[in-house]
Amino acid sequence: METENDGKRELLRDLSASVLSILKHPKLRLEKLKLYRQDNQWEAVSTELNRTNSKLSIRKFEILNNNSKYIITSNFLNLEVLEEVSLCITNETKTEIHKILHSDQCKALQMLTVNSFRREDTLIKGYPNFRHYLIPETEEYYEIEMEKECIRVEWMR
């Protein structure tokens, strides 16, 4: 008797196999690949790509979740083609950011975008362009205002 979970697992396995067969096509060239989240399905695909030494020809690679350490282990990216990487960093340590910036994938990039402004605790209600960052062990903070033409940083007490 097949359960609902068995059916979902089989569907995911079939979907992973389909995605994998498309990504492994030797003539595939992608302008942009956006990875919205890293779940078990994507992990299975990326593990297989790494295992088979497949290299994806992608010009722009975006990771829109908070697991940006992933770029360090993405050995399936063709570094001769990769030009731009966008990461979302929310809880990374200084050491992890340093590893990302000095990884082979990032050294030859024309552009690296790091989005660290998705922390909910920095948002100011009613002011979407403003962020507050507390200075540790004080009651002071930095206020950052981001506009289309400029960014303003102000130290507040």
Kindly report, residue by residue over 95-150, the tens digit of the pLDDT.
666 777 777 777 788 888 777 656 677 778 888 788 888 888 888 888 888 887 78
- The domain of 137 spans 119-157
* Whole-structure pTM value: 0.61
How many structural domains comprise the chain? 2
Same-domain check for residues 153 and 103: no
Are both 151 and 98 inside the same structural domain? no
Q: Supply 85's token pair.
A: 């990487």
* Domain co-membership, 104 together with 135: no
Asked if pLDDT for residue 31 goes beyond 90, the answer is: yes
Q: Which two tokens stand for residue 34?
A: 């956006």
Q: What are phi and psi of 17, to 5 degrees?
A: -65, -40
- Same-domain status, 143 and 100: no
Q: Which residue stretches of the chain are H helix?
A: 4-23, 40-51, 94-101, 104-107
Cross-strand bridge partners of residue 87: 114
